[in-house]
């Protein structure tokens, strides 16, 4: 079986479409677990008497370890296959997700929050798995849709976790245990998702990597397996340009997930529930905005080649930076939410446009490319966290980030593809459509 050249949204009959739906579901669960703590931080802050510096450390820890794991997870997909890699990550990640509910001090909470960051590497596996399942004419849309729908897990966590905690307290759970029991839920969901992913997916359209290698079949996407994949990707300047742009869009997205609820509570004096709903609106844009970015990228590429994809990314990054400046200076909660939705739209679309480019950077080192660029998102989030810790003011941090994002848009302009790159893409599209 070859890569799918179309997305049959309501079908589960083919391996590509089962992968499409199960990757976004697994990523949704992982993102939900990753950011489940964020909307409860005002409560946890009181539980452990946290200082502003300690909260900043927790936000940095939440994304720091993901950098390392994302760098490793891409080559692991090339070596072991995305099915094994995703199942292992879901099971391993469930341990600290459940463990954070039993933290008894700032130090133990920080430790588990650090380890939870590893589940953020699920994004790389999601993008890898859909990249090997779908043909060039739809791979941008497939990557963006699965990532966007999965990213929505962060938005759902923002709105649902305070409500879940409130419901548990109404049922008789003590206030001190309410947030703890609520945080166990995503860990259990990860274990269930691991079993489903193992049972119903395969590594690529032709089957599982182990079986194919045993039969002597060459696997194109994993041709440069392991660290060879990483080295090949690291030598490509376009990877590092996208590393920066992804840090400026996905890094900002993660940063907003971590601070939005607290910002609305502290700056606009909203209740925990209202702040959670306002923050959730940003994450829920991922339901369509990231997919829209990938879809538009596919369309402009059909009209003008791969360089048009890079130009589109530049426009999205510019819109994100200007919108972020607007959000930083919004004087009322209504203006802040409207500004957040506007810059959030560009942010999610920029993320989709970035990973619409990833499958074409180096097809023989896909895992390395996806891993390095994915790590860029977390580097951006960590740097944003340190920036906020250094400035000590969320509004100033948002303003500075707006300027930096606007400048980083120039990296998208620097990404150029040769005639052979573009023609190869066109030939691949023509061949898949003809098939």
Q: How far apart, in whole angstroms, are the C-alpha atoms of residue 314 and residue 263?
A: 29
- CATH number for 418: 1.20.1250.20
Q: How far apart, in whole angstroms, are the C-alpha atoms of residue 139 and residue 280?
A: 28
Nearest Cα residue to 297 out of 318, 324, 315, 323: 315
The token pair that represents 391 in the structure block: 């400035």
Q: How far apart, in whole angstroms, are the C-alpha atoms of residue 383 and residue 265?
A: 23
In a domain, 44, yes or no: yes
CA atoms within 13 A on the CB side of 205: 16
Buried b (16+ CB within 10 A) or exposed e, 273-295: ebbbbbbbbbbbbbbbbbbbbbb
Q: Give the CA distances from residue 417 to residues 15, 293, 299, 304, 409, in Å, rounded to whole numbers and listed in that order.
A: 31, 20, 17, 12, 17
Nearest Cα residue to 265 out of 244, 279, 255: 279
Question: pLDDT confidence of 29, banded at 50, 70, 90?
Answer: very high
pLDDT digits (tens, 9 = 90+) for 350-387: 999 999 999 999 888 888 899 999 999 989 999 999 99
In a domain, 191, yes or no: yes
CA atoms within 13 A on the CB side of 410: 5
Question: pLDDT confidence of 423, banded at 50, 70, 90?
Answer: very low
The rounded radius of gyration (Å) of the Cα atoms in the chain is 21
The token pair that represents 74 in the structure block: 């891409």
> In sequence order, what DSSP letters do the residues of 166-223 get, joined into one string?
HHHHHTT--HHHHHHHHHHHHHHHHHHHHHHHHHH--SBTTB-HHHHHHTT---STTS
pLDDT digits (tens, 9 = 90+) for 224-267: 556 787 888 999 999 999 999 999 999 999 899 889 988 999 99
The token pair that represents 28 in the structure block: 């949704």
Q: Mean per-residue pLDDT for 162-188?
A: 94
Nearest Cα residue to 38 out of 148, 160, 189, 152: 160
Domain housing 344: 15-207+221-434
In a domain, 5, yes or no: no
pLDDT digits (tens, 9 = 90+) for 393-402: 999 999 999 9
CA angle 134, 208, 234 (to 5 degrees): 65
Number of domains in the chain: 1
Name the average pLDDT for the chain.
Answer: 90
Do the beta carbons of residue 341 and residue 214 sit within 8 Å?
Answer: no
In a domain, 3, yes or no: no
What does the CA dihedral 340, 346, 351, 355 come to, rounded to 10 degrees?
Answer: 170
Residue recorded with tokens 């607290």:
262
Percent of the chain with pLDDT over 70: 94
Q: Report the SS3 class of residue 19.
A: helix
The confidence score (pLDDT) of residue 434 equals: 27
Question: pLDDT confidence of 222, banded at 50, 70, 90?
Answer: low
In a domain, 10, yes or no: no
Q: Give the CA distances from residue 258 to residues 388, 397, 418, in Å, rounded to whole numbers and listed in that order.
A: 12, 13, 39
For residue 76, give the H/E element and its range. helix 52-80
Q: Mean per-residue pLDDT for 267-290?
A: 90
In a domain, 317, yes or no: yes
Nearest Cα residue to 145 out of 340, 368, 297: 297
In a domain, 114, yes or no: yes
In a domain, 123, yes or no: yes
Q: Which is more confidently placed, 146 or 423? A: 146
CA angle 402, 403, 405 (to 5 degrees): 65
């Amino acid at each position: 079986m070859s890569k799918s050249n179309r997305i049959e949204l309501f079908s589960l009959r083919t391996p590509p479409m089962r992968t499409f739906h199960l990757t976004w579901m697994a990523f949704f669960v992982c993102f939900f677990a990753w950011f489940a703590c964020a909307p409860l931080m005002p409560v946890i802050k009181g539980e452990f008497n946290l200082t502003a510096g300690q909260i900043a450390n927790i936000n940095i820890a939440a994304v720091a370890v993901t950098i390392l794991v994302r760098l490793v997870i891409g080559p692991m997909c090339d070596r072991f296959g995305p099915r094994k890699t995703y199942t292992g990550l879901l099971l391993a990640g469930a341990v600290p997700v459940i463990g954070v509910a039993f933290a008894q001090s700032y130090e133990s909470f920080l430790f588990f929050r650090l380890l939870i960051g590893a589940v953020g590497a699920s994004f790389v596996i999601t993008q890898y798995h859909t990249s090997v399942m779908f043909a060039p004419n739809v791979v941008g849309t497939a990557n963006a849709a699965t990532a966007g729908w999965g990213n929505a897990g962060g938005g759902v966590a923002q709105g649902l976790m305070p409500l879940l905690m409130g419901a548990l307290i109404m049922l008789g759970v003590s206030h001190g245990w309410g947030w703890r029991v609520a945080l166990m839920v995503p860990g259990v969901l990860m274990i269930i998702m691991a079993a489903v992913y193992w049972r119903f997916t395969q590594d690529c359209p032709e089957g599982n990597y182990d079986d194919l290698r045993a039969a002597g079949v060459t696997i194109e996407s994993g041709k440069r397996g392991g660290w060879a994949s990483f080295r090949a990707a690291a030598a490509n300047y376009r990877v590092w340009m996208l590393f920066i742009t992804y840090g400026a869009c996905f890094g900002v997205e993660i940063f907003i997930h971590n601070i939005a609820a607290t910002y609305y509570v502290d700056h606009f004096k909203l209740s925990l529930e209202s702040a959670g709903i306002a923050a959730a609106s940003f994450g829920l844009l991922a339901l369509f905005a990231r997919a829209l970015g990938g879809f538009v990228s596919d369309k402009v590429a059909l009209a003008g080649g791969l360089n048009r994809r890079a130009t589109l990314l530049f426009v999205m990054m510019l819109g994100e930076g200007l919108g972020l400046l607007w959000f930083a200076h919004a004087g009322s909660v209504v203006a802040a939410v409207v500004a957040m939705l506007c810059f959030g739209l560009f942010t999610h679309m920029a993320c989709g446009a970035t990973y619409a480019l990833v499958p074409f950077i180096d097809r023989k080192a896909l895992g390395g490319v996806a891993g390095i660029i994915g790590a860029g998102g977390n580097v951006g989030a960590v740097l944003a966290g340190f920036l906020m810790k250094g400035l000590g003011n969320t509004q100033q941090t948002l303003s500075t980030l707006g300027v930096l994002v606007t400048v980083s848009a120039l990296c998208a302009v620097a990404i150029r593809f040769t005639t052979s790159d573009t023609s190869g893409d066109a030939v691949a599209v023509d061949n898949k459509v003809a098939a």
